[in-house]
Structure 1
Amino acid sequence: MSGQTKMIFITSDEDLVHKISATKSTNTRIIDLDDHEQMSLTINDKNMINLALAELSELNSTDHNQSKEKEISKKSIDLICKICGDRAIGFNYDVLSCASCKAFFRRNAYQQLEELKCLTGNNECLVIHGINRKCHRCRLSRCFMMGMRKDFIVKKETKQKKKKYLEENLLNTNFIPQLLLDLDNDNNNIELNEMEETVLDTLSTEEWITIENLQRLFISTMQDDNAHKFSINITDRDSAIMSCLNYADQTALRFINFFRQINEFEGLNSDDRFILMKYNLLPVFPIYKCFNYKPDNHYLSSKENEETRRFDQFFMLFDETYDLRDTLVKLVISLVQLTNQDAMILCFVLIILVFSQGLLMNEEEPILKDSLAVNRIQSYYIKLFWNYLVNKWDEQQACKYFIQLLNMVFRLQSTSKIFQNFLRNHLTSRNSVDQITPLMQSVLNIS
């Protein structure tokens, strides 16, 4: 036995599974992770699967890795204006665009389309670089169609407030561009409005590309049209807990899939990746609930509907924990109100929290092998998030929003701790730990 080597393969390739099934020896075991009846494994089997989960870089095929590189680590793209096709100068008002379309949108964004007259009367004029006379109505319509946001336009009064703020704090800051020092220089040929926008532009083109890729990744990974339905088995207490944890297992896999496509996470020590997933996933579950929340028919809604009634029945099985139901509902609704279900804000909060050491406040959490690398990654995303908020609003509003988010993080921590204790106590008291997936055993810290 000492000369044997144990290996574990995790794959979704059905052809490979069939080949292994046809040639497997008596010591080979094939486990369907979607069939939870097979999950009553021995302790050694569980440890092997947990170890495999730690080796997240081996979960997907080469093809997946290639698509991941295209998705998130894309550093150079053809900078083409999405409005007219000219060379783009960066992301302006949330869309990759040229200097001309940027200036056009800034001047005309608040005009009513209905009040503008189309040159041809068909509202289908071509908006192409090189055409001397572009239809104002059709050009503005295309700007909105491609996603330009007029709420991103910094008003004159806000610019003046920002300028004053920067000037007053000049001696205390090291990041103010040299342009600010040249505001009164007669030799400066840059138009004042354009110069102010340059001074206040807190995001580079590369950062906008990163943000756009992250947003696309977050939406594609987390969007679930059925997440609002409460499909948990509420026949009895044990069935309710098991089906709830099986559903949570699928949500945890969504989070793992999301982080597997972030290069900084993949570059970490394998043990550190495992620790971050094991100890930080539970507090971020409400982010998934928030993003998929639908006020009218969601089971966490404050309005009574069929889903909320089933949710109430679930907690009626546990008389002593009914208060936890109200805590969860209030938490998700507060998160919805604070973030307005903005995918980019939720994405940043998710990343920053998962890269936080000690988020679950568990004394048994081991020390990271390379905590400095984790801190660097978290600092990068905090700075990027801050610049995104400043670009969206202003410094004062961004600061207030950060404080509100911190308060929300404390609520996420305390609620997840309560919910974790509730589930752990129930599972251990009924000797049901072996009936849940190894992944959920890790997330609940009972493996």
Structure 2
Amino acid sequence: MSSPHFESDEEKTDQLGLTDFDLLQNIQNAYSQSFNLNTTDSDLPLYPLTKKLTAICPIINVKNITALRLINFYKKMHEFQLCTEEDKVTLIKHNLPCIFFLHAVLSYDPLMDRYYQDDKHHIDGRDILLSYGLEVYSKITTLMTTLRSFVELDRIIIQLALVIMLFSKGFSASDSVEPILIDPLKVFRIQNLYIERLWRFLENRFGNATATKMVAKLFMQCLTIQILSRDTRSDISENVNPYDIVPIMRSIMQLV
């Protein structure tokens, strides 16, 4: 008679169901379809930049590429389409500034200290240093280094976090007043759906104890993103002429 087997915290405790796999696959497909594109606005400036006085505006404007692709990514999600048009606009407009920081790690090359937008456009770490100063640059680089640990395990972790952050009402920590959602309960339920899927993925892949530590670590990085987003937007509002910024980024950064 064999001895009973007791699973440790580090062993897989719960298998992902077919619905979970379908959801994860849909996210990966939507992301791939939205970001594996090479066609961009040829009017956007090419990098690298060299001067502090001219760097902030082009850095913001080149994020126009990312903004459009993120919006396309979210539009491919069934749950996002269930939201009212007003709530879609509110979630996109107020959460994208924070989402930019989280998304950046998916295109970050730590060896080159470079953020690739596509095959033509990139942002160098030195441009961030010249534009925002050493303190902000150091915080962003530390954030990227920490988030890279998740990317190296599985990119789907960050992709799921991108969805969770979108459906986070009030996360932006902006000085402006966010509109009240038309259907906050629906947004809350959608966010919980993706939080649950992230947890089940991590628990199934890494075990309960490790998954708990990973969620706590990711949560702390989200708080760091909140602070960075608030501080950089404050710097932008004080030093940038809104009409030097492309319209979509002007709206997202709330410069008008």
TM over 0.5: yes
- Closer, same or farther in 2 for the Cα pair 1:248/1:389, shift >3 Å? same
State the partner residue of 1:414. Answer: 227
1:146-166 per-residue CA deviation (whole Å, 9 max, x = no partner) reads: xxxxxxxxxx97x62259x9x
Structure 2 unaligned segments of length 5 or more: list them: 39-45, 116-121
Q: Which residue of 1 is the match for residue 41 of structure 2?
A: none
Give the conservation status (yes or no) of the 8 Å contact 1:281–1:354.
yes
Match of 1:376 in 2: 189
Instruction: Return the letter of the residue paired with 1:347.
Output: Q
Which residue of structure 2 lines up, in the alignment, with residue 434 of structure 1?
243
Larger Rg: 1
Q: Write the mapping of 1:135-150 to structure 2, written as runs, cut at 5 A.
A: none
2:139 counterpart of 1:327: yes
Cα shift at 1:263: 1.0
Q: Structure 2 matches for 1:273-422, cutoff 5 A?
A: 273-299=88-114, 311-312=125-126, 315-316=129-130, 321-340=133-152, 342-363=154-175, 364-422=177-235
**SS where residue 160 of structure 1 aligns?**
coil
Gaps of 5+ in 1: 1-155, 166-196, 301-306
The residue identity in structure 1 corresponding to 2:223 is F
Secondary structure of 2:156 counterpart: helix
**8 A contact 1:249–1:440 mirrored in 2:** yes
Work out which structure has the larger RCO, using CA pairs closer than 8 Å and 6 or more positions apart in sequence: 2
Q: Are positions 1:231 and 2:44 aligned together?
A: no
Note the C-alpha offset of 1:360.
0.9
Native 8 Å contact 1:290 1:341 kept in 2: no
1:438 positional shift: 2.0
Residue 81 of structure 2, aligned match among 257, 266, 275: 266
Q: 1:211 to 1:435 in 2, by over 3 A?
A: same
TM-score where L is the length of structure 1? 0.49
Deviation at 1:328, TM superposition (A): 1.4
CA drift of 1:393 comes to 1.6
Change (3 A) 1:316 1:287: closer
- 1:62-211 equivalent positions in 2, closer than 5 A: 160-161=7-8, 200-211=13-24
Q: Which amino acid aligns with 1:334?
A: T
Contact (CA 8 Å) 1:219, 1:343: kept in 2 or not?
Answer: no
Task: Determine if the alignment matches structure 1 residue 219 to structure 2 residue 28.
Answer: no
Separation in 2, partners of 1:337, 1:273: 31
- Counterpart of 1:394 in structure 2: which amino acid? G
Deviation digits for residues 345-393 of structure 1 (CA, Å, limit 9, x no counterpart): 0111100011001111125111111100100100111111111111112
Once the two structures are aligned, what percentage of the paired residues are identical?
24
Cα separation, 1, equivalents of 2:130 and 2:200 = 45
Q: Tell me, yes or no, if the aligned pair for 2:55 and 2:130 is still in contact at 8 Å.
A: no
In structure 2, the residue corresponding to 1:281 is in which secondary structure?
A: helix
User: Does the CA-based 8 Å contact 2:97-2:229 persist in structure 1?
Assistant: yes
CA RMSD of aligned residues (A): 2.7
**Residue type of the alignment partner of 2:20:** E
Q: Give CA-to-partner distance per residue, 1:130-174, whole Å, 9 cap, x none.
A: xxxxxxxxxxxxxxxxxxxxxxxxxx97x62259x9xxxxxxxxx
Deviations 1:263-305 (CA, angstroms, capped at 9, x unpaired): 11111111110010111011111233211222322337xxxxx
How far apart, in 2, do the equivalents of 1:203 and 1:243 lie?
A: 43
* Residues matched between the structures, number: 239
